[in-house]
Structure 1
């Protein structure tokens, strides 16, 4: 390794809540981080508006010093929509002024919607940022096609999210059937649709007699609890706050079914983690999810906002242990084949080398 192989990772804090933080934490444990003497620049963290402004101001100052003093070979910008795009675009153009190439990694589940709502001058900024990036990383072919429409001249490439695959899961879990939801408890992730579907299953006591549902996440926990009470399923529904990475591992290791009925997604890390644990998964046919799940083989896909379809999918897997096992095994095999972190970091190593040689 030469001394010149240096990179900057610009992202939210790894202590924030969400998929980007999870992804960066995992990448920190790969050889990519040491091979490129990677340093992280934090531009966002959870907290008050003042704390967020301070995080960006501090991060931008450190970023400028790193560019001028340490002179990295490549900058890796983890970007979402709205404020995240504004922050990363400012840093992208700063790096470009001093001649450091940048890779733009787009995570936002609604980035195309965000772009289309911008006035034409700001759409031009998005297009120029993508066009002048060494590479624009999309989380799947569907997202790559959408980003290519935004910036036809950009070098858009696909690199999936990656996860560490744990040891072989235990085939038989004790304590009854356990269904899990992880993420922001709100409308976009379909959390309330899940509670409504669960309540419909309550009319079939044999299904829920030995099953319980856990929703773990932030924001809408009180509303989910109130809905469970109103639908008379509070005895079988537990609502928990946001979990630490260790807490997520423990929850997934002891669960049977993972459900993510989102309205929009990029390539959700929580879903990948559940698949890596060999869980039976149910998710919606949105964003990059269909490229993760082969419907009927490695999971079940349903339309968003469809209580009946979600209820039917839950009914199928709760009542069929062989189906749960088969879907879980295939999900784990899919992760091992296409989403293993050891494969993904090597893709970025190649992108860094291409950018630094250009």
Structure 2
């Protein structure tokens, strides 16, 4: 959820494969993923990815879209034409590295086809994983299909968002740990924070994400309804995202929270930043996650995160240090945590300040530097470990 991507430089010079590129020529990176305006954290990461690589002189970026949240016919067209375009670029020797943003299900299968073609062509691939529930999806496949899907997804590098996710991919895809680096999501850094009055009569909270039960949005509504009356009157929460908006509206109305909870559909970067600028609490009591962009963004704005210990959040947010951690699917515990934060303004502000400090290393510039270093590592012959950790030629 960032500013629009600037126009991309076109790659000049002869069409060649991924190996043996001149050190002076721009590194040709093909990014495969979602349409730019698609709601969700994956497209947020992808927009930062393209934007910060495109600003570099040593990289030239092409983007191929294989998914958008549109009608079924349009999705099918995007998938088939996107895969065909990516394959043509790879087979035509017009890219040096392919970087694919992937979740699960059809996302994994369509990216797997491109990974396979690139592998056969000798072009290095980076699979950037985002699905918190990949293991459940993979393990639910029919047994004969699992080795096929694993073979399709066996990229040169499989990026995971947190240490805890590494085993998910090493065990299921048959990869050495060296081929599964941990690269946390990036965040754009607000240069300065707005003045906030910790003792103001109104405290604002924000939920940014899919409006579905597994993101904990209904747990959050139940928790707000359980607050002490004075705290419930003081707290105002905005729920923004795509999903079952009507069901969330109905739950808010049934809980008698129409004056305390505002429900919106998915919002753009400017609206998001406006909400974060005014808020003090970032609320995401999710049942599963990778490393959600909304939490990183909220922490960068100095909000106190209130989250569950799932995915990368288990190490990012430390209870009582840089945020508040509550059990999964426990509205009572969530309500009690909110009551404490609303009764102690100083603690709430201190947690938000430490949250901002703790995500400083997640800045997008340094993140882009790390990705480019990873790409260049893949272009060096004999540097790709096999599933046993031994170095071998690509292919």
Shorter-chain TM-score range: over 0.9
Given that 2:109 and 2:152 are in contact with CA atoms closer than 8 Å, whether structure 1 keeps it comes out as: no
Paired residue for 2:202? 176
Paired residue for 2:322? 298
Paired residue for 2:126? 103
Q: CA deviation at 1:4?
A: 5.7
Paired residue for 1:185? 211
Provide the C-alpha distance between the structure 2 equivalents of 1:90 and 1:257, rounded to a whole number of angstroms.
Answer: 42
Given that 2:317 and 2:324 are in contact with CA atoms closer than 8 Å, whether structure 1 keeps it comes out as: yes
Aligned: 1:213 with 2:237: yes
Q: SS of the residue aligned with 1:6?
A: strand
Provide the C-alpha distance between the structure 2 equivalents of 1:232 and 1:162, rounded to a whole number of angstroms.
Answer: 37
Provide the C-alpha distance between the structure 1 equivalents of 2:170 and 2:160, rounded to a whole number of angstroms.
Answer: 10
Provide the C-alpha distance between the structure 2 equivalents of 1:175 and 1:39, rounded to a whole number of angstroms.
Answer: 49
- Give CA deviations for 1:264-306 in whole Å, capped at 9, x if unaligned: 1000001110011010110011111112112211111111110
Q: SS of the residue aligned with 2:338?
A: helix
Provide the C-alpha distance between the structure 1 equivalents of 2:281 and 2:72, rounded to a whole number of angstroms.
Answer: 37
Segment drifting more, 73-82 vs 206-215: 206-215
Q: SS of the residue aligned with 1:105?
A: strand
Provide the C-alpha distance between the structure 1 equivalents of 2:280 and 2:28, rounded to a whole number of angstroms.
Answer: 42
Q: CA deviation at 1:190?
A: 0.7
Partner of residue 278 from structure 1, selected from 302, 315, 320: 302
Provide the C-alpha distance between the structure 1 equivalents of 2:60 and 2:333, rounded to a whole number of angstroms.
Answer: 48
Given that 1:4 and 1:73 are in contact with CA atoms closer than 8 Å, whether structure 2 keeps it comes out as: no
Given that 1:138 and 1:156 are in contact with CA atoms closer than 8 Å, whether structure 2 keeps it comes out as: yes
Segment drifting more, 210-219 vs 248-257: 210-219
Q: TM-score, normalised by structure 2?
A: 0.86
Aligned: 1:138 with 2:138: no
Structure 2: gaps spanning 5 or more residues: 1-22, 382-395
Aligned: 1:63 with 2:89: no
Paired residue for 1:230? 254
- Indicate how the Cα distance of structure 1 residues 320 and 175 shifts in structure 2: closer, same or farther if over 3 A, else same: closer
Paired residue for 2:9? none
Provide the C-alpha distance between the structure 1 equivalents of 2:181 and 2:234, rounded to a whole number of angstroms.
Answer: 46
Provide the C-alpha distance between the structure 2 equivalents of 1:153 and 1:51, rounded to a whole number of angstroms.
Answer: 35
Paired residue for 1:350? 373
- Give the alignment's Cα RMSD to 1 decimal: 1.6
Partner of residue 224 from structure 2, selected from 198, 209, 213: 198
Provide the C-alpha distance between the structure 1 equivalents of 2:113 and 2:96, rounded to a whole number of angstroms.
Answer: 18
Q: SS of the residue aligned with 1:162?
A: coil
Paired residue for 2:17? none
Q: SS of the residue aligned with 1:188?
A: helix
- Per residue, is there more helix in 1 or in 2? 1
Given that 2:31 and 2:50 are in contact with CA atoms closer than 8 Å, whether structure 1 keeps it comes out as: no
Structure 1: gaps spanning 5 or more residues: none
- Indicate how the Cα distance of structure 1 residues 21 and 161 shifts in structure 2: closer, same or farther if over 3 A, else same: same
Aligned: 1:6 with 2:28: yes
Aligned: 1:87 with 2:106: no
Partner of residue 348 from structure 2, selected from 306, 324, 334: 324
Paired residue for 1:37? 60
Given that 2:26 and 2:60 are in contact with CA atoms closer than 8 Å, whether structure 1 keeps it comes out as: no
Q: CA deviation at 1:69?
A: 3.1
Aligned: 1:128 with 2:163: no
Provide the C-alpha distance between the structure 1 equivalents of 2:175 and 2:204, rounded to a whole number of angstroms.
Answer: 48
Partner of residue 161 from structure 1, selected from 179, 185, 198: 185
Provide the C-alpha distance between the structure 2 equivalents of 1:330 and 1:83, rounded to a whole number of angstroms.
Answer: 39
Provide the C-alpha distance between the structure 2 equivalents of 1:108 and 1:219, rounded to a whole number of angstroms.
Answer: 17
Q: TM-score, normalised by structure 1?
A: 0.95
Aligned: 1:244 with 2:277: no
Given that 1:27 and 1:33 are in contact with CA atoms closer than 8 Å, whether structure 2 keeps it comes out as: no
Paired residue for 2:77? 54
| Residue correspondences, number | 354
Aligned: 1:151 with 2:177: no
